[in-house]
């Protein structure tokens, strides 16, 4: 007597549709990424505002606002956390979504933008001379201002694709 295989192990599927693969992150992971992204954006914007609009008059002219170093320290700490959480996306989210051909353009755009932000942040801290610092700084904060918009677009496109 021949045993029947379980339908899950059968070579012939009842449906030719590929299995549904979910790319939505677990709640803790999603909230951690949103939190650290918000902290990065807020600390970077706060630094810009304090640096360019709230200079303090000193004995020899304008000087650094006392909030400026603290915003920079907060931004640096958030950047370290962001590197950790973005790295945690490589296998669980990015690789699987890429192979499934889902949300590729905005995903690669996010990866490229994050790489450029990391490089420009590193350059500001370790490579920039006094003459090149304004260029590195402008590049970093312009890219940084694009980040929340691209993140929102990536999330929107991913959720829209998941509803289909």
Max Cα–Cα distance, the chain, nearest Å: 98
pLDDT of residue 147: 94
Task: Grade residue 26 by pLDDT with cuts at 50, 70 and 90.
Answer: confident
| Between residues 43 and 7, the one the model is more confident about | 43
In the 8-state DSSP scheme, what is residue 9? G
Q: Which two tokens stand for residue 152?
A: 């929102």
Q: State how far the Cα of 56 lies from the Cα of 92, in Å rounded to an integer.
A: 47
| pLDDT above 90: residue 131 | yes
pLDDT of residue 29: 86
Q: Which two tokens stand for residue 56?
A: 């303090």
């Amino acid at each position: 007597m021949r045993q029947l295989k379980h339908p899950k192990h059968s070579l012939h599927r009842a449906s030719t549709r590929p299995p549904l693969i979910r790319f939505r992150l677990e709640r803790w992971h999603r909230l951690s990424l949103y939190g650290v992204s918000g902290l990065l954006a807020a600390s970077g914007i706060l630094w810009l505002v304090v640096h360019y609009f709230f200079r303090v008059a000193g004995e020899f002219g304008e000087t650094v606002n006392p909030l400026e170093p603290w915003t920079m320290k907060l931004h640096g700490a958030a950047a370290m956390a962001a590197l950790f959480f973005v790295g945690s996306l490589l296998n669980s989210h990015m690789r699987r979504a890429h192979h499934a051909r889902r949300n590729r353009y905005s995903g690669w755009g996010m990866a490229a933008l994050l790489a450029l932000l990391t490089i420009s942040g590193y350059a500001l801290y370790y490579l920039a001379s006094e003459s090149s610092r304004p260029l590195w700084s402008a590049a970093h904060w312009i890219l940084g201002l694009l980040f929340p918009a691209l993140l929102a677009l990536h999330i929107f496109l991913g959720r829209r694709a998941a509803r289909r």
